[in-house]
């Protein structure tokens, strides 16, 4: 295996930088180092941990423009989106800097006058994280920040497509004063690093964001040493437009949800379900809005939709669109491509498909691209049945101003994140995560620090009464 990883710009195929691929020995040494780091970091008082996290957030903000540029070059997303992601990434650090000083225990009334029962929380140990390429900053900080706040040490392996943003963030943590053995990164192939992480006696928790098959493999790999796991996995988000919805508003929110990061987000809408009485009107307005989106290099001003990350992702999108067309879907716009497999760039133009149905792959699998398939429904029950008919349960959206329709949909949709008249519900202060095969655990909010803490129960007996 090559000693370096070539990081390329997916908009041009150009080499940006070569980074060291760490050897097995180096990774094992880092894990041992992280264990020693944990023993020291766990003893740093919560107020100091909080202060250091705030200093880290500030360093990132001071370098925001540069980080965003690197992110756009390695990931392809428009520069404004990269700036937005850096802000989103620091919002997790800011939130967990505040949570660090609120890790409370409790006292439980005992059933005997001579006993006292207390419960305290302690950090779980070293946490090993594996992150995807689609949000190279935020997927890392929403794991690192609660881990460090809780007193855990942290080691991360970023996706091979996008290691540069992660490396920069870790270097800035050192500049902020966080010890070098409390937070570390390693670079390498997922299958190799993943196994070293799951096998290591120095790791107490695996936290992963990525595809469902890899998540399942990591859960299995963690079983032998009974490691804790948090899994943020794939999605297949439905977006339901009720008959009474404000269509113009819904179009704007659907564009945000569908086309951010060229549709390569786990929570982006993957299936648009519209009431049969408004489906034509919605499709017309939506297509008009999609036609205004500009495709291009994320570094160029005005770009709305950047490239697809790699050939594998591109091929999957093209195959899904062709499958849908063969089975009778109507193309309202798009189905246009600009790619060069030799050079290594892949653009997919925003595409809208109508008359899709359950026989098509696009309605069964996550797309991870700028394709919007539209289907219609007659009743709310039917919409819920279509929406829930998937092994995934990450995010769902609906648009209605009728409180009875809204509460019915909220109550019946089996998804961890629900946007009601909201196409962008993610926030550091809210619990993000999925049901069913979309994952285990939550990141963000007060829930997001829990997975990094052990509960220790103390019962003291024979006390003086």
Site residues for ligand NAP per CB under 6 A: 130-135, 139, 157, 159-160, 189-191, 194, 209-211, 214, 217-218, 232-235, 266, 366, 394, 434, 439
Q: Which residue has the tokens 């979309």?
A: 438
CB 37 within 8 A of CB 179: yes
Considering the complex, state which of residue 124 and residue 266 has its C-beta at the smaller distance from ligand NAP.
Answer: 266
Nearer to ligand NAP, 231 or 279 (CB): 231
Catalytic option among 161, 232, 366, 443: 232
Q: Give me the least distance between CB of 56 and ligand NAP, in Å please.
A: 22
Largest interatomic CA distance in the chain: 81
Nearby residues of 351 by Cβ (< 8 Å), 6 or more positions away: 321, 331, 333, 334, 335, 336, 370, 371, 372
Q: C-beta of 359: minimal distance to ligand NAP in Å?
A: 22
| Phi, psi angle pair for 440, to nearest 5° | -135, 130
Shorter beta-carbon distance to ligand NAP: residue 332 or 339: 339
Beta-carbon count within 10 A of 224 CB: 9
Taking the complex as a whole, the smallest distance from the CB of residue 198 to ligand NAP amounts, in Å, to: 8
Catalytic pick among 99, 160, 161, 266: 266
Q: What angle is formed at CA 287 by the lines to CA 285 and CA 289, rounded to 5 degrees?
A: 70
Q: Identify which of residues 217 and 418 has a Cβ nearer to ligand NAP in the complex.
A: 217
Report which of 1, 10, 18 is spatially closest to residue 262, judged by C-alpha positions: 10
- Angle between the 64-75 and 163-176 helix axes, to the nearest 10 degrees? 160
Find out whether 90 and 139 touch, Cβ atoms under 8 Å: no
Looking at beta carbons, which residue is closest to ligand NAP? Answer: 190
Which one, 234 or 448, has the nearer CB to ligand NAP?
A: 234
Of 52 and 371, CB closest to ligand NAP: 371
Its sign, for the CA torsion 186, 187, 188, 191, is positive
Could you tell me if 205 and 222 are in contact, meaning their C-beta atoms sit under 8 angstroms apart?
A: no
Residue 152 catalytic?
no
Q: Which of 275, 194, 271 is nearest to 235 (CA)?
A: 271
Tell me, yes or no, if 266 is annotated catalytic.
Answer: yes
CA dist., res. 168 & res. 89, Å (int): 13
Name the DSSP letter for residue 3.
S
Active site residues: 232, 266
């Amino acid at each position: 295996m090559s000693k370096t990883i070539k990081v390329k710009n997916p908009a041009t195929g150009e080499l940006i930088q070569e980074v060291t691929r760490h050897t097995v020995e180096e990774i094992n040494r880092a894990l041992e180092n992280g264990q020693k780091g944990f023993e020291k970091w766990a003893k740093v008082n919560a107020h100091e941990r909080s202060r250091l996290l705030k200093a880290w957030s500030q360093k990132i903000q001071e370098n925001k423009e540069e980080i965003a540029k690197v992110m756009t070059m390695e990931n392809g997303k428009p520069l404004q989106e990269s700036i937005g992601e850096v802000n989103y990434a620091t919002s997790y650090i800011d939130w967990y800097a505040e949570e660090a000083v609120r890790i409370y225990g409790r006292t439980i009334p005992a059933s005997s006058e001579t006993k006292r029962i207390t419960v305290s929380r302690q950090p779980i140990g070293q946490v090993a994280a594996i992150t995807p390429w689609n949000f190279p900053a935020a997927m890392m900080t929403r794991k690192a920040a609660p881990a460090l706040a809780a007193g855990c040490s942290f080691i991360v392996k970023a996706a091979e497509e996008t290691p540069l943003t992660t490396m920069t963030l870790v270097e800035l943590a050192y500049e902020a004063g966080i010890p070098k053995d409390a937070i570390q990164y390693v670079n390498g192939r997922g299958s190799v690093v993943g196994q070293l992480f799951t096998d290591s006696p120095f790791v107490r928790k695996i936290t992963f964001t990525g595809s469902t098959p890899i998540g399942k493999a990591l859960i299995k790999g963690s079983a032998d040493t009974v490691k804790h796991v948090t899994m943020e996995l794939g999605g297949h988000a439905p977006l339901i437009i009720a008959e009474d919805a404000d269509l113009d508003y819904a179009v704007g929110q659907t564009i945000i949800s569908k086309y951010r990061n060229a549709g390569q987000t786990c929570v982006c809408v993957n299936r648009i379900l519209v009431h049969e009485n408004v489906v034509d009107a919605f499709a017309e307005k939506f297509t008009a809005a999609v036609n205004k989106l500009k495709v291009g290099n994320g570094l160029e001003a005005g770009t709305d939709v950047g490239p697809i990350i790699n050939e594998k992702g591109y091929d999957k999108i093209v195959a899904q669109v062709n499958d849908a067309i063969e089975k009778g879907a109507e193309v309202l716009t798009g189905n246009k491509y600009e790619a060069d497999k030799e050079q290594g760039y892949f653009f997919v133009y925003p595409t809208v498909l109508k008359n899709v149905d359950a026989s098509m792959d696009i309605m069964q699998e996550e797309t991870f691209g700028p394709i919007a398939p539209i289907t219609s429904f007659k009743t709310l029950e039917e919409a819920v049945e279509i929406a829930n008919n998937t092994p995934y349960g990450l995010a769902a959206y609906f648009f209605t101003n009728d409180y009875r329709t809204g509460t019915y949909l909220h109550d019946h949709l089996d998804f961890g994140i629900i946007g009601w008249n909201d196409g962008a519900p993610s926030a550091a202060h809210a619990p993000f995560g999925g049901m069913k095969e979309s994952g285990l655990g939550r990141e963000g909010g007060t829930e997001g620090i829990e997975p990094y803490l052990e509960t220790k129960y103390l019962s003291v007996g024979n006390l003086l009464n």
